Amino acid sequence: MIIHDISVPLSMGMHVFAGDPAPEFKRVKSIDVNGANVSLMCLGTHTGTHVDPPFHFVQDGATVDEIELSKLVGDAKVFEVYGVKKIGPEHLKNFDIEQGDIVLFKTDNTRYWKEQGFYKDFTSLGLEGAQYLIDKGAKTIGIDYLSIEEYHGGGYVHRLLLSHGIVIVEGLYLNDVKPGKYKFICLPLKIEKGDGAPARAILIEE
């Protein structure tokens, strides 16, 4: 069994979506003075690898502490989509997507994590591609950058997916993962009434 950690580390100066708060970390206690190290952490709910529950874009949708964890644990398929800026049905039709699948997209985005600053022209899922995945019965969709939807996309893709109860996982790091089938586990912080939460995501290769 091989465990792939597909989360990005939380750190000062890391990539954040344009306009989102940058994370801050401050040591407030130390072993030398207090006998233990304790830090204060301040960050947005959509920092790094994170989960978007319906409430992120749907006013009466489930919050992050209310979503079924079964949506974030189960059989996953990693699909490679390169050289594409907006993923549509034409890029998905040859993939084996079944009812209840967790679908993760490995794209050109992964390399942007190593560059400085937020990259606005990232690969995203288009509205028609989102509808295709809904029709196929995907329960969760993940991508390897900070948004499933194009920059200045208007929220249409988010609203379409989330209004159908599909959970979105953003900010995955899939550079070291080959396309194929895996067991997926992604556990977001249990933030009461949260519109999102950072998460630790792994793929298990058996």
Count of beta carbons in the 10 Å neighbourhood of residue 127: 18
What's the mean per-residue pLDDT of the chain? 97
pLDDT surpassing 90 at residue 115: no
Domains in the chain, CATH or no CATH each = 2-8+45-205 (3.50.30.50)
Question: What's the CA gap between 113 and 38, in Å, rounded?
Answer: 28
Tokens of 50: 């994170």
Both structure tokens of 131: 């509808």
Q: Which of 12-21, 109-118, 179-188 has the lowest mean pLDDT?
A: 109-118
Predicted confidence band of residue 116 (pLDDT cuts 50, 70, 90): confident
Residue 117 has pLDDT above 90, yes or no: no
Q: What are phi and psi of 123, to 5 degrees?
A: -75, 135
Of the pLDDT bands very low, low, confident and very high (cuts 50, 70, 90), residue 111 is confident
Burial 52-86 (b: 16+ CB within 10 A, else e): bbbbbbbeebbbbeebeeebbebebbbbebeebeb
**Nearest CA to 6 among 72, 98, 87?**
72
Strands (E), the chain: 2-5, 24-29, 38-42, 50-52, 73-81, 86-87, 102-107, 124-125, 140-143, 167-170, 180-188, 197-205
At 133, the pLDDT band (50, 70, 90 cuts) reads very high
Task: Give the tens place of pLDDT for each residue, 27-82.
Answer: 999 999 999 999 999 999 999 999 999 999 999 999 999 999 999 999 999 999 99
Q: Is it the case that residue 199 has pLDDT exceeding 90? A: yes
- What's the pTM value of the predicted model, to 2 decimals? 0.96
Confidence of residue 132 (pLDDT cuts 50, 70, 90): very high
Give the pLDDT score at 110.
87
